[in-house]
Amino acid sequence: MNKNKRPGIIEIAGIKLWDFFASLKLTIYLFSFIALASVAGTFLPDRIGMIKFVQDKPLWIFKFFQLFELFDIYYSWWFVLLIIILGVNLLCCSFERLPRVFKIVLKKPLPPSVSKIESLEHKREFLSDGNMDNLTVLAKKFFKSKRMKMYSFKTGETFSCTAEKGRFTRLGVYVAHFGFLLLIAGGVAGTVAGFSGVIDIPEKETGSIVTLFKNRGKIDLGFDVTCSRFEIIRYENSHTPKSYQSEIIFNKGRQAEKKGLVKVNSPLKYNGIKFIQSGYGRVLEGKVKISAYDLMTDEKKGEYLMDQGDKVVLPDGKTEFTLFSFRPNFQISGMNLGETFIGFVLSEGKEIPVALPVSTPGFDKHRKGDFYLVPDDFETRYYTSLQVNKDPGVYIVYSGFLFLSLGIFVSFFMRHSSFYLIFENSGSNSTKVFCAASSNKNKTLNEEIVSDFYNYLLNND
Amino acid sequence: MENTLILSVATFIYGFSALCFVIESVFNKKKFGSLGFFLLVAGLSTNFAGFLFRWIESYQMGIGRIPLSNLYESLVFFSISGALIYSVIYKKFDNPVIGAITTTIVFLAMAYAGLSPSADSAITPLIPALRSNWLTVHVITCFFGYAGFAVSFAASILIIFTRDDNKWKNLDELNYKMIIFGFLFLSLGIITGAVWADSAWGRYWSWDPKETWSLITWFVYAIVLHARYMKNFTRKTIAWLSIVGFIAVLFTYFGVNFVLAGLHSYA
């Protein structure tokens, strides 16, 4: 007995499960959840803001955030799950409804009956004094002018026909849905099999290690990237950059395999990996000459050729100065000092930070040490900052875009409209006309075409 | 700067147009409606002239770019789109209340552009990342979409607040048409934005707040479009949803710039 019953339960469960996934209600719930999660994502701190956010909060909040990956909602397991369920939902809905739609789309229209015409909302019946053959010719002309395809049937004393256009537009909504599915598939493919990061290469140097945006990990590209030249193009009579670009050479081993220009808004592709001009900066080239001046007399007391990290003793014989680094855009309490050398002096056991902006040589006087330091002579070189992306899903996504926009256009702005017509011979040179129009949307236009037809017959009699 | 002068004139004309539609709605005076429409078209022409002047002036300054790149310019273009859409549908859906709401929104957008300190009217050079033909397509599609949603917002308000469902003809049809128009253009706006982002930033989607909010808006209107096929969604529920959609539009447009930071902070 059990054996007979069990398939029944499974079947019922199967049907219920199918109904669940093929329901429009689920779609609306998923849309709402995804939208709400996205709203939350724009207000919650991201990975960078995370540390500051959790600092003064109890531990469980941090654990809760971590469990649901709330610092990275859009890549969290549950967000991805919601999107995948939406994909399944879409597939089930399509499979549920497509067979019916295909039946309509693939079936040739049948001749209308008088009762069918009378059952429609937008219809008209009238007597015409033209004969049937003339009227048939007129009808053909009319449908041609409306770009409708005519299927005509003649049986003795009556002529009946169905004319229609746009039957295939009924598939538009599925084209849009297919496009949306492709977007999901392409997005997943890109997340699973792609990467995204950045590589900084000083002019005339070579690099191959990319720092990933996600988790700051590093990967080796497996080939060398050389920046042979970097250039900034400015607006006329202005310092505002108009564009910037890098001349790049790719090579595996010794052989240069590809040369090209990476410009803002114009990336370069090599080995399926995209290189995008995303920024630039300056690095120190060689050593810098730093001079020490007497604070009282402004007399030059010493001169040091320094590398970043070097330490020297100032002319008083006890104060030590260490040069840290060169910063192309040094910010101090909201002010941009521009190109600046930073370091510190060690005087009587106390460390005092030092900033030496190139554009303001006397800046170090504010420190009020016995000497103030000025960077005198140095050279810099540009480095180019290239974003490096590999996304095998991008073509799937692009075809998704195409199907989605085409599908939206067809399903909302085109329609399947039909026109039903019967001529009935009713005595000498008199024909009874039954006609009606129907469509799957924009039904107000049906009234129009019916009266158009009436006027057409009337005026061409 | 002649363009800002012309655009302020357009603002005033829009204001009077809105006033006329309001008078028509309240006192049921058809004449004011016709005057309102005339003023709307006049405002639109002036608005468009200001837009063209600004474009020409940018060339005279040696910058040479279509004026579609900051808050001021986008508000100006939004007004063009909104006024244009209402002018086109006016004949078929002549409805004083929707005329009043739409022209008021258009007027407010222009007034905000002219008066707000955050909407700088100076013509500045484009930063490198914005120098792309995608900018034009992206902004135009987005703002056509927003303008469609603005009209649908007006229709939805009317649907919610009228007791007598038969008072206005074609109201649901207008609401639906404006939503599908907006939805098509929002989709195209998101898509062109993604394609542009792919070429400029190397990724078609990076979940920056503006992108995310445009997607949220898209989802809200997707709900509206699917809810039509559900039995338990009444026309008023759908109208409420469409209002939520327009709030999402406003947040995408303003909220993101002022509340959240992202890649779009310059627009």
Question: Per residue in B205-223, pLDDT tens?
Answer: 988 889 999 999 999 999 9
Determine contact, residues B74/B28, Cβ cutoff 8 Å: no
How many CA atoms does the CB half-sphere of A439 hold within 13 Å?
24
- Convert the pLDDT of each residue in A421-445 to its tens digit: 999 888 777 889 999 999 988 888 8
The reply to whether residue A24 touches residue B226, judged by beta carbons under 8 angstroms, is yes
Determine contact, residues A66/A44, Cβ cutoff 8 Å: no
User: CA nearest B127 in A: which residue?
Assistant: A242
Ordered DSSP codes for B59-72: HHTT----S-SSHH
Domain identity same for A212 and A247: yes
Using 50, 70 and 90 to split pLDDT, how confident is the model at A461? low
Select from B49, B37, B50 the least CA-distant residue to B114: B50
Domain identity same for A345 and A374: yes
Beta strands in A55-176 (DSSP E): 122-128, 149-155, 158-165
User: What is the average pLDDT across A223-247?
Assistant: 86
User: What is the average pLDDT across A87-100?
Assistant: 92
Domain identity same for A391 and A360: no
Distance of alpha carbon B125 from alpha carbon A243, whole angstroms: 11
User: CA nearest A412 in B: which residue?
Assistant: B180
Q: Is A44 helix (H, G, I), strand (E, B) or coil?
A: coil
- How many secondary structure helices (H) and strands (E) does chain A include? 10, 20
Domain identity same for A292 and A327: yes
Using 50, 70 and 90 to split pLDDT, how confident is the model at B265? very low
A323-332, B30-39, B191-200, B203-212: least confidently modelled range: A323-332
The reply to whether B201 touches chain A by the CB within 8 Å rule is yes
Last residue of a domain, one of A56, A75, A99: A99
Q: Which domain holds residue A228?
A: 191-281+384-405
Domain identity same for A50 and A87: yes
Tell me how crowded residue A65 is: count the other CB atoms within 10 A of its CB: 18
Mean pLDDT of all residues in chain A?
A: 87
Residue B83 has pLDDT above 60, yes or no: yes
Domain identity same for A76 and A26: yes
Residue A162, domain member (yes or no): yes
In the A/B pair of chains, how many CB contacts fall below 8 A? 106
Structure tokens at A122: 């937008």
User: In the prediction, which pLDDT does B267 show?
Assistant: 40
User: What is the average pLDDT across B86-110?
Assistant: 92
Residue A368, domain member (yes or no): yes
Name the pTM for this structure. Answer: 0.82
Residue A209 has pLDDT above 50, yes or no: yes
Mean pLDDT of all residues in chain B?
A: 89
| Residue from A79, A96, A264, A280 to probe the interface with B (highest B Cβ count within 10 Å) | A264
Question: What angle do the packed helices B96-115 and B30-60 form, to 10 degrees?
Answer: 30
The reply to whether residue A389 touches residue B202, judged by beta carbons under 8 angstroms, is yes
Number of residues that make up chain A: 461
Select from A454, A461, A425, A437 the least CA-distant residue to A154: A425
Using 50, 70 and 90 to split pLDDT, how confident is the model at A48? low
Domain identity same for A374 and A401: no
**Greatest mean pLDDT among A301-305, A329-333, B132-136:** A301-305
The reply to whether B250 touches chain A by the CB within 8 Å rule is no
**Residue A195 Cα distances to A334, A356, A445, angstroms:** 34, 39, 52
The reply to whether residue B183 touches residue A412, judged by beta carbons under 8 angstroms, is yes
Domain identity same for A389 and A449: no
Q: Choose between B96 and A7: higher pLDDT.
A: B96
User: In the prediction, which pLDDT does A1 show?
Assistant: 43
Domain identity same for A266 and A400: yes
User: CA nearest A33 in B: which residue?
Assistant: B219
Domain identity same for A81 and A120: no
Domain coordinates in residue numbering, chain B: 1-126, 130-267
- Convert the pLDDT of each residue in B145-200 to its tens digit: 999 999 999 999 999 988 777 777 788 889 999 999 999 999 999 999 999 888 77
Distance of alpha carbon A20 from alpha carbon A27, whole angstroms: 10
Which residues in chain A have Cβ-Cβ distances shorter than 8 Å to B198? 394
Residue A178, domain member (yes or no): no
Distance of alpha carbon A156 from alpha carbon A158, whole angstroms: 6
The reply to whether residue A397 touches residue B62, judged by beta carbons under 8 angstroms, is no
Residue A171, domain member (yes or no): no
User: In the prediction, which pLDDT does A26 show?
Assistant: 95
- Total of domains in chain A: 4
Domain identity same for A392 and A376: no
User: What is the average pLDDT across B213-239?
Assistant: 92
Using 50, 70 and 90 to split pLDDT, how confident is the model at A79? very high
User: What is the average pLDDT across A325-345?
Assistant: 81
Contacts 24+ apart (CB under 8 A), A252-257: A252/A222, A252/A223, A252/A224, A257/A223
| Residue from A23, A29, A31, A244 to probe the interface with B (highest B Cβ count within 10 Å) | A31
Which residues in chain B have Cβ-Cβ distances shorter than 8 Å to A278? 201-202
Distance of alpha carbon B189 from alpha carbon A329, whole angstroms: 36
User: In the prediction, which pLDDT does A282 show?
Assistant: 82
Dihedral angle computed from the Cα positions of residues B101, B103, B108 and B111, in that order, rounded to the nearest 10 degrees = -160
User: In the prediction, which pLDDT does A5 show?
Assistant: 53
Structure tokens at A408: 């939206």
**Helix H or strand E encompassing B104:** helix B96-115
- Interface confidence, given as ipTM, is 0.90
Residue A33 has pLDDT above 90, yes or no: yes
User: In the prediction, which pLDDT does B266 show?
Assistant: 43
The reply to whether B226 touches chain A by the CB within 8 Å rule is yes
User: In the prediction, which pLDDT does A278 show?
Assistant: 84
Distance of alpha carbon A419 from alpha carbon A436, whole angstroms: 6
Q: Is A351 helix (H, G, I), strand (E, B) or coil?
A: strand
Phi, psi dihedrals of residue B163, rounded to the nearest 5°: -80, -45
User: In the prediction, which pLDDT does B150 show?
Assistant: 95
User: What is the average pLDDT across A255-262?
Assistant: 85
